[in-house]
Amino acid sequence: MKAEDYLKKAYRSIYENDFEQAIQWFEQALTLEPDNGDIHYRCSITCARSNRLEKAMAHARLAAAIAPLQEEYKLHFDRLQSKELTNMAKRLLEGDSAESSVNKSKIAEPASRLLVRAVQLDPLSVEAQVWLAIAYAELEQYESALQAVREAAVLPQDEGVAKQLLELEQKIRKYMK
């Protein structure tokens, strides 16, 4: 079989919403064409859709390295890195809620640095902006927290997220008083 045949099977699996099978077909194609950035890119997208972030990152990294002039590969890799950094910061911030405020600020500081980088990598990530606002609020940097909420509010989102952003903004303003 040719790599193209495996790709057709992968696309058919995607059409049938069988992303796990699609990943297997992409990986079969990659055994025949391991230096094909486009296959790595498409496999990465499918992995990301299946919440397999580590595997998605690995394929995105390879796609960007193999074809550095393909801007979409780099943008995709940046978005995945942003998601990974956001998840790391989220885990830090969601740690033991019974911690003292001193420990919270020790956690919020590195989390805010991760989130600043996440926002740089993916300026369209509402999730990164929201968590950045939360980290800044933990650090009692309320103006920065409000700025992050404002940045998130101008990004595309659904009605539920818009409502949550408004509530977060109101909470932050309450802490400022």
> Is there a single domain that holds both residue 88 and residue 169?
yes
Give the tens place of pLDDT for each residue, 93-132. 998 554 555 577 788 999 999 999 999 999 999 999 999 9
Give residue 134's identity as a one-letter amino acid code.
Answer: I
Give the tens place of pLDDT for each residue, 119-167. 999 999 999 999 999 999 999 999 999 999 999 999 988 888 888 988 9
Domain that holds residue 126: 78-176
To the nearest 10°, report the CA torsion of 164, 169, 174, 176.
Answer: 150
* pTM confidence score: 0.87
Helix axes 159-176, 126-138, angle to 10 degrees: 20
> Is there a single domain that holds both residue 82 and residue 30?
no
> Is there a single domain that holds both residue 41 and residue 107?
no
Task: Over range 82-99, report the average pLDDT.
Answer: 85
What's the token pair of residue 134? 């939360």
Say if CB 14 and CB 44 are below 8 A apart. no
What is the model's pLDDT at position 101? Answer: 56
What is the model's pLDDT at position 8? Answer: 96
> Is there a single domain that holds both residue 33 and residue 109?
no
- What's the number of domains the chain is made of? 2
What is the model's pLDDT at position 99? Answer: 52
> Is there a single domain that holds both residue 55 and residue 109?
no
Give residue 57's identity as a one-letter amino acid code.
Answer: M
